[in-house]
Amino acid sequence: MEVTIGESASLDEALWRYMSLDKLINLLETQKLYFTALESYNESDPFEGYMPDVAAKAYAEIFGSQVSELKQAYEVLKQMDVAQNNPKLGEMRNGIEKLSSKMELAFHKISKAITVNCWHSNRVESEAMWKLYSDDGKGIAIKTSVERLHNALKEQVFGKKIQIGKVRYLDFSDTNLTPKCCVVDGNISPLIKRSSFSHENELRCFIVNQVPSDNIEYYRPSADIVPVDLNELIEAIYISPFAKEPFISSVFAICGKYQIEDKVIKSTLLDISGFLPKLSNW
């Protein structure tokens, strides 16, 4: 499988994937990573797959040149006396409108068909991410690195190209933005998100899927299920600092079934016992 790492990411960068126990079990059982289509995020962030206006205009200038040339030709013909009331001119206008609509629809479909597998980039655990992804304190987090993630994917058999890059967070309403601001590792979507989501500090594996040109209006994107080497991927499995028994024992028992219990760590994020003895030295 072809897996490329963009310049935005560093090999030694620590990554975390916070999840529920049932998702961990599914990962251990299937040994596959789930890549979600950006269209699936329409409710949580409808801007997924889109870009600031300045980038959209630049994109339109580059890829919409055919439509622009046709519009210019149409305006020239419309000004000519010989073209007045010519039915062919109306047909040309309708054809231009249809082509423009089809190209706009194709852009939206291609953007929303990109599939992503998301990781939180951080040297240490994130208390905020634990709260976001732990239901009643019942959560786990897989710790890995960019290098381990890359190696865990590259030796697997899969027919599509995977890219890895860091998300850049921007204020889409910032009038000082330039098209260059919106490009990360040669891509815009899906490595651009609004600043309101910067707490995610996200790194993404993503797949740009082919969208059929025929009947594109009826196309619906689907997820990609990608095989992964779990021994290479998983550096450690952390149990939420908010977790209590019997959840903690259950995680150890389940990981024991898959012979990875030695990688399980109970988070000490909220444990101050190791610091208390220092008070006696005052």
Are 18 and 59 within one domain? Answer: no
Same domain for 225 and 132, yes or no, is yes
Judge if 32 and 62 occupy the same domain. Answer: no
pLDDT digits (tens, 9 = 90+) for 108-145: 788 899 999 999 999 999 999 999 998 889 999 999 99
Residues 122, 21 share a domain: yes
Q: Which residue has the tokens 């210019």?
A: 72
**Residue-number span of the structural domain to which 86 is assigned:** 55-108
Tokens of 242: 């908010």
52 contacts 182 by C-beta, under 8 angstroms: yes
248 and 124 in a common domain: yes
77 - beta bridge partners? Answer: none
Q: Are 223 and 36 in contact (CB under 8 A)?
A: yes
Residues 252, 275, single domain; the answer is: yes
Q: In the chain, how many domains are there?
A: 2
Contacts of 27 (CB under 8 A, 6+ apart): 33, 142, 230
Torsion of CA 139, 133, 207, 52, to 10 degrees: -170
Same domain as 202, residue 91 = no
> Average pLDDT in the 144-172 region?
96
Same domain, 79 and 18: no
Do residues 101 and 159 both lie within one domain?
Answer: no
Q: How far is CA 229 from the centre of its chain?
A: 20
- pLDDT beyond 70 at 282: no
Write the pLDDT tens digit of every residue in 49-72.
888 888 877 766 665 555 555 555
Same domain for 103 and 187, yes or no, is no
pLDDT of residue 56: 75
pTM of the model: 0.83
Is 104 found in the same domain as 66? Answer: yes
Percentage of residues of the chain with pLDDT beyond 70: 79
Residues 275 and 142 in one domain: yes
Q: Among 68-82, 94-108, 113-127, where is mean pLDDT lowest?
A: 68-82
> Among the listed ranges 83-97, 216-230, 247-261, which one has the minimum average pLDDT value?
83-97
